Amino acid sequence: MSRVELNTAAPDFTMTDFTGKSVSLADFRNKKNVLVVFNRGFF
């Protein structure tokens, strides 16, 4: 499985959040840093 490398372009994605709103990584370009957290589960 590929991994993300430091100081390279982050792979873009467009997904729908749980409220139904579309979220793209590109939306944050030049506006905000983004911390992406992958969790194993909530429960």
List residues near another protein by CB under 8 A: 1-13, 15-19, 23, 25-26, 28-43
Total residues found in the chain within this entry: 43
Tokens at residue 9, please?
A: 């372009």
Q: Provide, rounded to whole angstroms, the least separation between the CB of residue 1 and another protein.
A: 5
Q: Provide, rounded to whole angstroms, the least separation between the CB of residue 43 and another protein.
A: 8
CA quadruple 22, 39, 35, 24: dihedral, nearest 10: -20
Tokens at residue 38, please?
A: 């992958």
Q: Provide, rounded to whole angstroms, the least separation between the CB of residue 26 and another protein.
A: 7
